[in-house]
Amino acid sequence: MLIIITLSSCKYLRYVPEDEYLLKKVKIKSDKIFDDGTNLASYVHQSPNNYFMGIGRLKLAMYSISDTSKHTTGHNWLRKVGEPPVIYDSLKRKDSEEELRKVMYNKGYLSAEVTSDTTIEGRQISVTYHIKTNKPHVIRHYVTSLPDTNAMAVIKRRSERDHRPEYGDLLDADQLNKERERITKYLRDNGYYNFTKELLFFAVDTSCRNNMVDVELQLQPSFVQSDSVLQMIFTKPKITKVTILSLKDNQYSNLKQLNLDTVIYNGYVFLSDKSDKIFRPKSIIEKICFSPGDTYHEFLVNRTYELLNSMPAIKYVNIIFSSVENGNLACTIIVSPNKPHTLDAQFDFTYSDGEIGVMPGLGYSNNNIFHGSEILKVNANGGWEGFGSVNNMQHTWKVGGGVSLTFPKLALPISENLKRMKVGKTEVALSTNYENKMEYTRAIFSSAFKYHWTRRRIQYSWNVIDLSFIKMGNISESFRKKYLTPESSVRFSYEDNFIMRMGMTIGYTNRINQNSDMTYYTIRAGAKIAGNLLYGISNIVNQEKNKDGQYEIFGIPYAQFAKADFDYAHNIKFHDNVRFVIHAGIGVVIPYGNTTIIPYEERYFSGGANSTRGWASRTLGPGFYNQISRHDFMNQTGDVKMDFNLELRAKAFWKLELAAFLDAGNVWTIKEYEQQPGGAFYFDTFYKQFGVDYGFGIRLNFDFLVVRLDLGIKIYDPSRIESERLRNNPKWSEDCALHFAIGYPF
């Protein structure tokens, strides 16, 4: 990118006419800082070509090196992903002044002054806009007046948290419009279907002294003069009929030619094609929050949208109301089905210090298997890691798969009305994995029963019960002598084990929707416990312990531990094409009761595409621990984990994004173990044991899929002797790791 910018910077003016200027910069200088999120630059009618990470105008550079007289594939592509020069326009400069003046006026600065000047450098020009706000107009008194006592009583019941204009607030048109929208929403939520925000206007008295104004929210005078219109506006209509149409998109144009099946269920009329019944009527009706005969309430309509759109088998929903006799309403709900089958694939590739790893996966989903938006998922995955010379390649591999069935509701003994307050689902899952390493083979069988639901942008996941059975297979004699001796502290991680877990995960984001490009953050916290119920039963029945002092079930020791995780990511928008992401992840797992060592699959590891990217997966830590061999995965796990990441992401052109990152992290054990010397967590030393790396990444962002390639380079390696920990001269074979992955790391 730098080479393109440098070589083509002299050609920036190639397509700028001789008597014109290239717009170089636009600045806005104001005597007041607006902290309400107002982006004044968005009101300027002409902006310069985009700067790539503040270095140069990359898109302009790409366009400039193309030849507009040639229409070959290469030149056409350069013009497509590039950007033509922005030619300065004095008329647009004047329009921008007027636009900024209007913005100030709408914000309450009725006497604001906006001017501009220019600076010419050769054939490039910069424009600076100057804003002098002067004294603003502020509200002295605010009141809402509607000609209906019942409606006024509803408005007075508004929550105190619902901010309304008050003394000292700016006469801000945007804020006043939000108040108009709040009043309208509150009335419609309380049954006033015919009330719209266009019925309202603000009467403003500017005759007060000291730039003070009195504001009154009123009904438009033309409506006040008609009693019949007032009666219509302030009447709460009932929903007399609810009809549901469940058809494919191409069927709505020829309804008369279809052989429709009519089902009446609890007063609802359900219409579908007799030859192609996509949904069971009950599965749709139980998501509708209003019934025939109910008074209209808009929040129930919006809730119905939310519940129906949460069903994966539904493509879109349209709820239409029409007036019928006596001013009441008839409702038609159109439900369009989604494609029932989906396939997804994933592929990870890693390379570090001569080690190669590939991890492919494939999944299939049926989003409507029982005609009620139940999701059947079947997946298979695998992994292969090779290391050593070409002539003496050693390798390990694993395969696995699973099947899950998700129901689009909470299978709980609670009322239907309570279920409708949450977007929920129930999941039952089975999975198995088989690992073939040089040292051992192992099979893991798991099953789970979970609830997932969302409430006010908070996502909950309750793992009611999660069972795992770990069965060890062939174990090499060298591994047995090294790790499975009676005095070994890690041997319990590599023996047959039974885990019975339960836990809760809560996630929250202030991101409005997936397409939102503003600054946002995400928080996730989880906790789980295992073995407590079994341990209590063992104590009650006075069960005998085995030779290792553990209780068993079906002749197999069961694990007992508590685990907690916290993850935070803050995505900051610096520019339309530049983002800065801060990430922190912390976790701890503590064994107790029937367990002295956490099972291997529940322990933490560091390194990899989503952690400290200067290390391959499972090759960092714990603490100062220096692995005995290059492939000491068994001992490179811990009970405490910390990850801290900084990443700068910049969109270059087309689908290409670049990234620069800094990672720090490690894992630790909760106590000293003979097989993991230097790995224990202590408050006075842990901060010295972080592995630190920096690196660069290339990403292809296809919106629905992000493919990334990250190169991590070690800065500080805690596993080395003290004099070699700071990697001033990193070596490719020892201090670099290349990661190919799908999706952003956090």
pLDDT tens digits for 452-488?
988 878 999 999 999 999 898 888 888 888 777 776 6
Give residue for tokens 């692995």. 627
pLDDT above 70 for 414: no
Mean pLDDT of 533-560: 90
pLDDT above 60 for 423: yes
From 192, 185, 182, 205, select the one nearest 148 (Cα to Cα): 192
- DSSP alpha helices (H): ranges in 370-464? 416-420
Confidence of residue 584 (pLDDT cuts 50, 70, 90): very high
Residue ranges of domains in the chain, CATH in brackets: 2-132 (3.10.20.310), 138-233 (3.10.20.310), 239-337 (3.10.20.310), 437-446+456-494+504-742 (2.40.160)
- pLDDT tens digit string along 375-413? 999 999 999 888 766 667 778 889 999 999 999 988 877
- pLDDT at 674 (0 to 100): 78
Range picked from 79-83, 552-556, 589-593 for highest mean pLDDT: 589-593
Q: Which long-range contacts (CB under 8 A, 24 or more apart) does 263-272 make?
A: 266/291, 267/242, 267/291, 267/292, 267/293, 268/242, 268/243, 268/244, 268/292, 269/241, 269/242, 269/243, 269/244, 270/244, 270/246, 271/243, 271/244, 271/245, 271/246, 271/247, 272/245, 272/246, 272/247
Greater pLDDT, 454 or 135: 135
Greater pLDDT, 248 or 233: 233
Contact criterion met (CB below 8 Å) for 466 and 447: yes
Average pLDDT of the chain is: 88
Q: Would you state the structure tokens that stand for residue 641, as one six-digit string?
A: 């984990």
pLDDT above 90 for 79: no
In angstroms, rounded to a whole number, what is the distance separating the alpha carbons of residues 737 and 697? 12
- pLDDT at 622 (0 to 100): 92
Q: Give whole-number Cα distances, 188 to 144, 191, 196, 241, in Å.
A: 16, 5, 8, 19
Mean pLDDT of 254-261: 77
In angstroms, rounded to a whole number, what is the distance separating the alpha carbons of residues 485 and 481? 6
Q: Could you count the other beta carbons within 10 Å of the beta carbon of residue 16?
A: 19
- pLDDT at 534 (0 to 100): 93
- pLDDT tens digit string along 166-203? 889 999 999 999 999 999 999 999 999 999 999 999 99
From 585, 587, 588, select the one nearest 567 (Cα to Cα): 585
> SS3 breakdown of the chain: % helix, strand, coil, rounded to 5?
20, 40, 35
Q: Are strands 556-557 and 497-509 parallel, antiparallel or unpaired?
A: unpaired
Contact criterion met (CB below 8 Å) for 43 and 30: no
pTM of the entire predicted model: 0.75
From 238, 241, 304, select the one nearest 271 (Cα to Cα): 241
In angstroms, rounded to a whole number, what is the distance separating the alpha carbons of residues 296 and 191? 5
Contact criterion met (CB below 8 Å) for 462 and 513: no
From 499, 498, 563, 560, select the one nearest 528 (Cα to Cα): 563
List 497's β-bridge partners, or say none.
470
Confidence of residue 514 (pLDDT cuts 50, 70, 90): low
The answer to which of 5-9, 56-60, 245-249, 666-670 has the lowest mean pLDDT is 5-9
In angstroms, rounded to a whole number, what is the distance separating the alpha carbons of residues 80 and 66? 10
Mean pLDDT of 101-114: 95
Q: Give whole-number Cα distances, 745 to 570, 643, 704, in Å.
A: 13, 12, 15
| Chain Cα centroid distance, residue 537 | 41
From 192, 201, 177, 314, select the one nearest 248 (Cα to Cα): 314
Cα dihedral angle (479, 485, 487, 488), rounded to 10 degrees? Answer: 20
- pLDDT at 438 (0 to 100): 82
From 28, 201, 14, select the one nearest 101 (Cα to Cα): 28
In angstroms, rounded to a whole number, what is the distance separating the alpha carbons of residues 84 and 57? 11
- pLDDT at 420 (0 to 100): 62
Q: Would you state the structure tokens that stand for residue 687, as one six-digit string?
A: 């901060």
One-letter identity of residue 50: N
Contact criterion met (CB below 8 Å) for 133 and 208: no
In angstroms, rounded to a whole number, what is the distance separating the alpha carbons of residues 123 and 22? 6
